[in-house]
A and B are shown apart, each in its own frame.
Chain A
Amino acid sequence: MIQVKDLTFSYTGSPPYVLNQLNLEIPDGAYVSIVGENGCGKSTLMRLILKFLKPTSGQILSSAKRIGYVPQKNSASEDGFPITVFEMMDSYRKLLKLKDKQETDANLQKVGMLPQKKKKMSDLSGGQCQKVRIARALLGSPDLLLLDEPSTGIDMQSQQEIYALLKALNQKNRITVIAIEHNLNAAVENSTAIYHIINGRGHLCTPQRYAKEFLNSSKGENFYA
Chain B
Amino acid sequence: MLEYSFMQNAFWASIFISILCPCIGIFLVLRRYSMIGDTLSHASLAGVTAGLLCGQNPVLGAFVFTSFCGALIEFLRNSFKKYTDLILTVVLALSVGVAITIISSGKLHANADSFMFGSILTVTQTDLIMIGVLSILSVLTLTFLYHPLLYIAYDEEAAMIAGVKVKTINYIFSILVAAAISVSIRIVGVLVLSSMIALPVATALQLGKSFRQTLLLSITFSIVDIMTGLFASYFLNVAPGGFTALVSVAVLALVLLGKKVAVTVRTSLENQHSA
Q: Do A and B come from one complex?
A: yes
Q: Interface on A for B, CB 8 Å cutoff? A: 50, 52, 67, 69, 71, 74, 76-78, 80-84, 87-88, 91-92, 94-96, 120, 136
Q: Are A84 and B155 interface neighbours, CB within 8 A?
A: no
B159 within 8 A of A: yes
Across the interface, name the chain B residue whose C-beta is closest to A146. Answer: B161
Known: A82-B205, A94-B147, A95-B148. A69 touches B158 (CB 8 A): yes
Additional pairs, 9, CB under 8 Å, beyond known A81-B153, A92-B158, A95-B164: A52-B157, A69-B158, A76-B32, A83-B150, A83-B211, A84-B209, A87-B211, A87-B212, A92-B162
Give the residues in chain A near B157, CB-CB below 8 Å: 50, 52, 69, 71
Across the interface, name the chain B residue whose C-beta is closest to A66. Answer: B161
| Separation of A76 and B31 alpha carbons in the complex (Å) | 9
Give the residues in chain B near A95, CB-CB below 8 Å: 147-148, 151, 159, 162-164
Main secondary structure on B side of the interface with A: helix
Most buried by B among A83, A84, A88: A83
Whole-angstrom distance between the Cβ of B228 and the nearest chain A Cβ: 25
| Separation of A91 and B208 alpha carbons in the complex (Å) | 18
| Separation of A88 and B162 alpha carbons in the complex (Å) | 13
Across the interface, name the chain A residue whose C-beta is closest to B31. Answer: A77
B90 within 8 A of A: no
| Separation of A92 and B159 alpha carbons in the complex (Å) | 8
Q: Show 19 residue pairs from A and B whose CB-CB distance is below 8 angstroms, ordered by the A residue.
A: A71-B158, A74-B155, A77-B154, A77-B155, A77-B156, A81-B30, A82-B30, A82-B208, A82-B209, A84-B209, A87-B210, A87-B212, A88-B154, A91-B151, A94-B147, A95-B163, A96-B163, A120-B210, A136-B158
Across the interface, name the chain A residue whose C-beta is closest to B32. Answer: A76
Whole-angstrom distance between the Cβ of A177 and the nearest chain B Cβ: 16
Give the residues in chain A near B160, CB-CB below 8 Å: 52
B214 within 8 A of A: yes
| Separation of A46 and B63 alpha carbons in the complex (Å) | 41
Whole-angstrom distance between the Cβ of B123 and the nearest chain A Cβ: 33
Whole-angstrom distance between the Cβ of A82 and the nearest chain B Cβ: 4
Across the interface, name the chain B residue whose C-beta is closest to A95. Answer: B162
Residue tally, chain B, CB below 8 Å to A:
26
Main secondary structure on A side of the interface with B: mixed
Give the residues in chain A near B156, CB-CB below 8 Å: 77
Give the residues in chain B near A83, CB-CB below 8 Å: 150, 154, 210-211
| Separation of A175 and B179 alpha carbons in the complex (Å) | 46
| Separation of A58 and B39 alpha carbons in the complex (Å) | 43
Count A/B pairs, Cβ under 8 Å.
63
Within 8 A of A (CB), among B87-143: none
| Separation of A76 and B154 alpha carbons in the complex (Å) | 10
Cβ proximity bits B174-213 to A, threshold 8 Å, 1 near / 0 not? 0000000000000000000000000000000100111111
Contact of B147 among A77, A82, A91 (CB under 8 A): A91
Known: A82-B214, A95-B164. A77 touches B153 (CB 8 A): yes
Whole-angstrom distance between the Cβ of B153 and the nearest chain A Cβ: 7
Give the residues in chain A near B163, CB-CB below 8 Å: 95-96
Known: A71-B157, A95-B162, A136-B158. A120 touches B209 (CB 8 A): yes
Whole-angstrom distance between the Cβ of B127 and the nearest chain A Cβ: 34
Give the residues in chain B near A84, CB-CB below 8 Å: 209-211
Whole-angstrom distance between the Cβ of A97 and the nearest chain B Cβ: 8
| Separation of A32 and B162 alpha carbons in the complex (Å) | 23
Whole-angstrom distance between the Cβ of A65 and the nearest chain B Cβ: 13
Known: A52-B157, A95-B151. A82 touches B210 (CB 8 A): yes
Give the residues in chain B near A77, CB-CB below 8 Å: 30, 153-156
Give the residues in chain B near A96, CB-CB below 8 Å: 162-163
| Separation of A78 and B151 alpha carbons in the complex (Å) | 11
Whole-angstrom distance between the Cβ of A209 and the nearest chain B Cβ: 33
Across the interface, name the chain A residue whose C-beta is closest to B214. Answer: A82
Give the residues in chain A near B32, CB-CB below 8 Å: 76
Give the residues in chain A near B164, CB-CB below 8 Å: 95
Across the interface, name the chain A residue whose C-beta is closest to B210. Answer: A84
| Separation of A41 and B67 alpha carbons in the complex (Å) | 39
Give the residues in chain A near B30, CB-CB below 8 Å: 77, 81-82
Whole-angstrom distance between the Cβ of B82 and the nearest chain A Cβ: 12
| Separation of A83 and B210 alpha carbons in the complex (Å) | 5
